[in-house]
């Protein structure tokens, strides 16, 4: 296998792992890119591409195949990023709920 093929295979695998991790954490691309036009998501993708825990990640994702979890595993270099997205999503959801409730009171 030539070098280019290995690079492409690794990129495919890491992108697949990133997508599975986001699914497992209940995150969407919209949530991960909303706050800063995707700059942090871009950084998280680059971090994933260079991560040395791909085998560990794949094993973790396979072991908990259909279970939603709140946090990425400790070995994940993007765990902090994912926590931040969850916090922002929680704040946004709470703000939207307050906004909708205040609108209902005004009617």
Confirm if 76 and 53 have CB atoms less than 8 A apart. yes
What pLDDT, on a 0 to 100 scale, did the predictor assign at position 87?
A: 81
For 36, the 3-state DSSP assignment is coil
How far is Cα 23 from Cα 56, in angstroms, rounded to an integer? 17
Q: Quick count: other Cβ atoms within 10 Å of Cβ 62?
A: 9
pTM of the predicted model as reported, rounded to 2 decimal places? 0.77
What is residue 74's DSSP assignment?
Answer: T
What average pLDDT does the segment 15-30 reach? 93
Q: What is residue 34's predicted lDDT score, i.e. its pLDDT?
A: 83
Angle between helix 79-106 and helix 39-49 axes, rounded to 10 deg: 150
pLDDT above 70 for 42 = yes
């Amino acid at each position: 296998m030539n070098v280019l093929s290995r690079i492409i295979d690794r990129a495919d695998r890491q992108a697949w792992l990133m997508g599975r991790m986001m699914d497992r954490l209940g995150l969407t691309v919209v949530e991960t890119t909303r706050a800063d036009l995707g700059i942090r998501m871009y950084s998280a993708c680059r971090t994933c591409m260079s991560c040395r825990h791909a085998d560990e990640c794949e094993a973790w994702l396979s072991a908990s195949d259909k279970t939603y979890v709140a946090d990425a595993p400790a070995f994940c270099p993007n765990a902090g990023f994912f926590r931040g997205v969850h916090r922002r999503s929680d704040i946004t959801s709470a703000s939207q709920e307050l906004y909708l409730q205040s609108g209902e009171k005004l009617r």
